[in-house]
């Protein structure tokens, strides 16, 4: 198998001689069958139903401003977009579309990796070049255009975002961020030229974990989901074996606190674990994994993949990849996968 050619398999059935030993010392066959005993909290579904109902109760219109001229782009239209997220607070996004195409177009809703924001629209031109609309969602508190007003809750945390508000599910940072990401899907209905029946969720690392969470919370409103090297899955395993990256913030937090904090910390994280969202997601899914990923170790990715509820779910295996996954080879693989499922601008 060429390293430039992704391997697709619903069971990730690479033979051991075709791939190196993963970072976790699990062989590919073990990864393909890896299903740790993880049970969602009894109040998981009620918690998220209540959380999203509260956010939607604030209402609010989506606001759009055409800003293409600021970026000297000739083939793409760019709209600076604001939609109501957690607590009705405005969340920034870029809406990019191929110029001169009225639609309705399939839309790729893109979530961003850890400590990143929506950046500049010139960083996100692939999907519009392929004929799709793209909604690039800022991450509250991480991106420069969407502040997180919930950060000042008095809870102690270490640097980063992983332990902010970790004293309870109600206060936890990712309750706010995941809510924003669901509300981005709600916003599609108010944006002109988009096809609400062809919403594709995408993102890498944290963005992949967020895409997986939204897929589990929006049901059949989503046509497909593409989580790349997803973060926010199987938290305890990530904290125990990840050699780099944000899972280490949990380790540092628990190292600084009493051992009595271990159980309640992971009880909070259970409400945000991608494994539980995967068990509730049914849209066709294209995952990816880097078998040498020190940030999101393969076991954490496969824990979610192997519990995914939808019948059509595929893993792209990058045998020698670290957290970069397939890098530049990945978007063409995603595009081909969408075309196989009829999710094309021409359809």
pLDDT at 154: 45
The percentage of the chain sitting over the pLDDT mark of 90, rounded to a whole number, equals 84
pLDDT 10s digits, 96-137: 999 999 889 999 999 999 999 999 999 999 999 999 999 999
Higher pLDDT, 259 or 313: 313
pLDDT at 5: 34
Lowest mean pLDDT among 16-30, 292-306, 324-338: 16-30
Helix, strand or coil, per DSSP, at residue 4: coil
Give me the domain span that covers residue 280: 7-337
Q: Helical H runs in 114-246? A: 126-129, 173-187, 206-218, 235-241
The percentage of the chain sitting over the pLDDT mark of 70, rounded to a whole number, equals 90
Residue 1 within a domain: no
How many folded domains does the chain comprise?
Answer: 1
Residue 342 tokens, joined: 């009829």
148, 180, 273, 293: which one is catalytic? 293
Residue 286 within a domain: yes
Phi, psi dihedral angles at 132 (to 5 degrees): -95, 160
| Residues sharing a CB contact under 8 Å with residue 330, sequence separation 6 or more, in sequence order | 6, 228, 288, 316
Question: Per DSSP, which regions of the chain are E strands?
Answer: 7-9, 63-66, 76-84, 90-98, 105-111, 133-137, 194-204, 224-228, 285-290, 313-318
Distance CA 17, CA 182 (A): 41
Q: What CATH number is attached to the domain comprising 265?
A: 3.40.50.1820
pLDDT 10s digits, 270-282: 999 999 999 999 9
For the question of residue 145 being annotated catalytic, the response is: no
Residue 267 within a domain: yes
Residue 152 within a domain: yes
pLDDT 10s digits, 67-95: 999 999 999 999 999 999 999 999 999 99
Q: Are 149 and 158 in contact (CB under 8 A)?
A: no
Residue 320 within a domain: yes
Residue 345 within a domain: no
For the question of residue 12 being annotated catalytic, the response is: no
Residue 2 within a domain: no
205, 228, 234, 270: which one is catalytic? 205
pLDDT 10s digits, 5-57: 344 444 343 443 444 444 555 678 889 989 998 999 999 999 999 999 999 99
For the question of residue 323 being annotated catalytic, the response is: yes
Residue 346 within a domain: no
pLDDT at 103: 81
* Average pLDDT over all residues of the chain: 91
Q: Find the Cα–Cα–Cα–Cα dihedral 251, 147, 123, 246, rounded to 10°.
A: 0
pLDDT at 25: 59
State the pLDDT confidence band at 265, using cuts at 50, 70 and 90. Answer: very high
């Amino acid at each position: 198998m060429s390293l430039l050619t992704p391997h697709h398999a619903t069971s990730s059935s690479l033979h051991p001689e075709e791939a190196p030993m993963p970072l976790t010392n699990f062989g590919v066959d073990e990864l393909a069958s890896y299903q740790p005993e993880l049970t969602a909290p009894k109040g998981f579904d009620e918690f998220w139903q209540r959380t999203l109902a509260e956010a939607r109760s604030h209402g609010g219109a989506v606001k759009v401003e055409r800003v293409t001229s600021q970026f000297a782009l000739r083939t793409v239209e760019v709209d600076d977009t604001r939609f109501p997220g957690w607590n009705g607070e405005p969340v920034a996004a870029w809406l990019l579309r191929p110029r001169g195409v009225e639609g309705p177009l399939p839309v790729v809703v893109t979530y961003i990796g850890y400590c990143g924001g929506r950046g500049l629209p010139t960083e996100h031109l692939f999907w519009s070049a392929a004929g799709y609309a793209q909604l690039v969602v800022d991450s509250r508190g991480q991106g420069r255009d969407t502040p997180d007003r919930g950060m000042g809750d008095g809870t102690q945390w270490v640097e980063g975002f992983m332990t902010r508000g970790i004293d309870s599910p109600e206060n936890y940072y990712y309750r706010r961020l995941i809510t924003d990401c669901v509300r981005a899907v709600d916003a599609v209905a108010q944006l002109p030229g988009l096809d609400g029946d062809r919403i594709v969720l995408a993102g890498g690392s944290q963005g992949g974990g967020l895409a997986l969470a939204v897929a589990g919370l929006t049901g059949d409103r989503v046509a497909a989901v593409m989580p790349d090297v997803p973060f926010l899955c199987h938290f305890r395993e990530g904290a125990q074996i990840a050699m780099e990256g944000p899972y280490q913030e949990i380790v540092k937090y628990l190292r600084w606190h009493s051992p009595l904090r271990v159980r309640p910390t992971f009880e909070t994280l259970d409400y945000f674990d991608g494994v539980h969202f995967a068990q509730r997601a049914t849209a066709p899914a294209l995952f990816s994994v880097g078998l040498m990923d020190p940030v999101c170790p393969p076991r954490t990715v496969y824990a979610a993949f192997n519990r995914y509820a939808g019948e059509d779910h595929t893993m792209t295996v990058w045998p020698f990849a670290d957290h970069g996954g397939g890098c530049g080879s990945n978007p063409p693989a995603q595009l081909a996968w969408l075309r196989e499922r009829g999710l094309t601008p021409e359809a």
